[in-house]
Amino acid sequence: MAKVRAKDIIETFGLELVSGEEGVDRPITTSDLSRPGLEVAGFFDYYPAERVQLLGKTELSFFERLGDSDRKIRMEKLCADVTPAIIITRDLEVPAELIEASERCAVPVLKSDMKTTRLSSRLTNYLEGKLAPTTAVHGVLVDIYGVGVLITGKSGVGKSETALELVKRGHRLVADDCVEIRQEDTDTLIGSSPELIEHLLEIRGLGIINVMTLFGAGAVRTHKRITLIVDLEIWDKTKHYDRVGLDEEKMKIIDTEVTKLTIPVRPGRNLAVIIEVAAMNYRLKRMGVNAAEQFTNRLAGAIQDGDE
């Protein structure tokens, strides 16, 4: 099922449908747009027909200088089988040759009163958000002091209970159980909750609670950028856990690597406080303050002084 169709951009941007109504269900498969200036001039060797085409003042001013036969041929070539839509900007008059070709090929021709560059910018942002790669992860996403922390771990390890304690401490829940993640840029992951379970938290023995109803609108968020992953696992006495914090583990989601911390779970450990401090320490590291490195440098200096 296509994520975006031509009719979606008509509704979103309030565009006027001029012709080619039969093609409004054509899928849009790329966020790249095309301003077919070279194509209007007759060079179609590298025509990106699968993109939404924008015709502005420059393209149409040149088009008006062409002869009748050239005008007809150029518009027929613009209306390819895979072209999702052609948009006329600045509320300019739509050429009759384009209307005729679009009706024959079922390519929707749309009209906007916005400037070409402005529409191009807004439409690109919209399509990038809609067509971004997506995945789903089992875990809990919480906004802690502005840091999007994805809490993962096996079922029953205490993720939801920890999230509840974090919410009580003033932080905000984004998603519980299933976190939908989309990659909006090469290094930007945005997490959100499926609509069905939005604002809900499942606590074993208690059931499902509505966080927004219990704690107010300030206790929830609709989406948040993921910058830190905290993996909870049952304490394994045979495993070595990082006690200094020099080593930084990474976890790859889609094409983006995110800093990952592994926190062992055992009775008596306050996981909410540990994760809260982990988020604050992550912010400090991003600001250039690394306590582990400072300690290591002081230790190395002390050893050197002792040797002397």
Known binding-site residue numbers for ATP: 153-160
Q: Residues forming the annotated binding site?
A: 153-160, 202
Residue 1 pLDDT greater than 60, yes or no: no
Q: 153-180, pLDDT tens digit by residue? A: 998 898 999 999 999 999 999 999 999 9
The residue annotated as part of the active site, out of 237, 239, 243, 252, is 243
Domains and CATH numbers, the chain: 6-130 (3.40.1390.20), 134-293 (3.40.50.300)
With a cut of 70, say whether residue 265 has pLDDT above it.
yes
Q: Is 243 among the residues known to form the active site? A: yes
Give the integer Cα–Cα distance in Å for 176 and 151.
Answer: 9
> Regarding predicted confidence, which is higher, 32 or 294?
32
Tell me the per-residue pLDDT of 103-134, one tens digit each, with 9 for 90 and over: 999 999 999 999 999 999 999 999 988 898 89
Distance of alpha carbon 208 from the chain centroid: 28
Q: Which of 104, 138, 168, 286 is the catalytic position?
A: 138
Quick check: is 171 catalytic? no
For residue 115, the model assigns a pLDDT of: 94
d(C-alpha 304, C-alpha 308), whole Å: 6
Going by pLDDT thresholds of 50, 70 and 90, the confidence category of residue 245 is low
The band of 184, judged by pLDDT with boundaries at 50, 70 and 90, is confident
Q: What is the pLDDT of residue 232?
A: 93
Question: What torsion, rounded to 10 degrees, do the Cα atoms 102, 108, 113, 114 define?
Answer: -110
Find where tokens 């830190």 sit: 228
Please state the rounded mean pLDDT for residues 65-94: 94
Q: What confidence category does residue 294 fall into, taking pLDDT thresholds of 50, 70 and 90?
A: confident
State yes or no: pLDDT of 17 exceeds 90: yes
Q: Is 212 helix (H, G, I), strand (E, B) or coil?
A: helix
In the chain, % of residues over pLDDT 90: 75
Establish whether 223 is a catalytic residue. no
| 242 is an active site residue | no
Please report the pLDDT score of residue 2 as a whole number: 55
Sign of the C-alpha dihedral computed for residues 271, 154, 225 and 241 taken in this order: positive
What residues pair up with 150 in beta bridges, in sequence order? Answer: 141, 229
pTM, to two decimals: 0.76
pLDDT-based confidence at residue 238 (cuts at 50, 70, 90): confident
Say if residue 291's pLDDT is above 80.
no
In this prediction, residue 24 carries a pLDDT of 93
* Mean pLDDT along residues 185-211: 91
Is residue 54 within 8 Å of residue 121, measured between CB atoms? no
> What would the pLDDT profile of 35-57 be if each residue is shown by its tens digit?
999 999 999 999 999 999 999 99
* Marked catalytic residue, from 7, 177, 260, 285: 177
Query: Which amino acid is located at 108 in the chain?
Result: P
Instruction: Output the known binding site for Mg(2+).
Output: 160, 202
Tell which residue, 98, 113, 8, has the closest CA to residue 53. 98
- Answer yes or no: is pLDDT of 243 > 70: no
Please tell me the predicted confidence (pLDDT) of residue 303: 80
Average pLDDT, the chain: 91
